[in-house]
Amino acid sequence: MNKVEILIIDDEPQIQKLLKINLESNDYSVKTADNGKSGLLQAANHPPHLILLDIGLPDESGHEILKKLREWYSKPIIILSVQDNETDIVRALDNGATDYLSKPFRSGELLARIRAAIRRSENLVNKETKMVFDELVIDLAKMFVTLNDKVLKLTSTEYNLISLFAKNEGRVLTHKYILKEIWGVGYQTETQYLRVFVGQIRKKIESNPHQPKHIITVNGVGYRFH
């Protein structure tokens, strides 16, 4: 079985070295680039399975590199940045980032995010129709959801919302993105509307809706589904 290939686009030699050692010790194949131009060239010549992209690059903003990559590259891109303000995070996610980690971060968390992103990418390639999250099963082909083998009664909007979450397992979805995908462009500012529906779904799928394990709130940004 071929190794998963990861491209690191980051201009900090120490960060590059630490990431490379950590990832290779976990059986990933790693390539590095220390600026945006080099990163774009490497990604185009030999597309990796996943890209780790720094926002603060010396030649061009990582936000711009992200937009250029998303013109053709559909696999996961995880942003690594010292910037942790909501505006910067939301901008990256809205431009197509799969996930976002603020520096400094724990290696265990990064590895978990990478595994989730790659698993989701492979599921999309394999056109998986039944997605299992412990006791929760979402059957995309038959269009129903079961919890502990019992079919849940969901409205069409609730089903569309939970299937969107499932297809983006592990990825932070912004309020704007979710509202656009489920209700359309005219609803992109209706965050309270979304909050009501998320609350309804949590009551149906979570053992404790006040401490959810499936639909996780990312304050000021959106939601992550596990």
Q: What is the DSSP letter of 27?
A: T
Give residue 13's pLDDT.
Answer: 92
> Residue 128 has what pLDDT?
59
Same fold, 5-125 and 130-225: no
CB atoms within 10 A of CB 41: 12
The CATH number of 130-225, from 3.30.70.2860, 3.40.50.12780, 1.10.10.10, 1.10.12.10, is 1.10.10.10
Q: What per-residue confidence (pLDDT) applies to 114?
A: 93
pLDDT in tens, 110-163: 999 899 888 877 766 555 578 888 899 998 888 889 999 999 999 989 999 999
Is the whole-model pTM more than 0.75?
A: no
In whole angstroms, what is the distance from residue 144 CA to residue 3 CA?
35
Other Cβ atoms closer than 10 A to 104? 7
Indicate whether 2 pLDDT > 80: no
Q: Identify the pLDDT of residue 125.
A: 52
Under 8 Å between Cβ of 203 and 209:
yes
Q: What is the mean pLDDT of residues 161-167?
A: 91
Contact 78, 113 (CB under 8 A): yes
Residue 168 has pLDDT above 60, yes or no: yes
Nearest-angstrom CA–CA distance, 165 and 220: 18
Band of residue 32 on the pLDDT scale cut at 50, 70, 90: very high
Burial call 49-85: b when 16+ CB within 10 Å, e when fewer: bbbbbbbebeeeebbebbebbeeebebbbbbbbebee
- Tell me the domain boundaries of the chain: 5-125, 130-225
Q: What is the mean pLDDT of the chain?
A: 89
CA angle, corner 132, sides to 106 and 125, nearest 5? 80
Any idea which fold 5-125 has?
Rossmann fold (3.40.50)
pLDDT-based confidence at residue 30 (cuts at 50, 70, 90)? very high
Q: What's at 155, amino acid-wise? A: T
Give the span between the Cα atoms of 202 and 217, in whole angstroms: 11
pLDDT at 75 exceeding the cut of 70 = yes
Q: Examine the pLDDT at 95 and tell me if it is beyond 90.
A: no
Give mean pLDDT, residues 89-107: 88
pLDDT of residue 51: 97
pLDDT of residue 220: 86
State percent of the chain over pLDDT 90. Answer: 59
Of 8-17, 84-93, 157-166, the least confident: 84-93
Average pLDDT over residues 56-62: 91
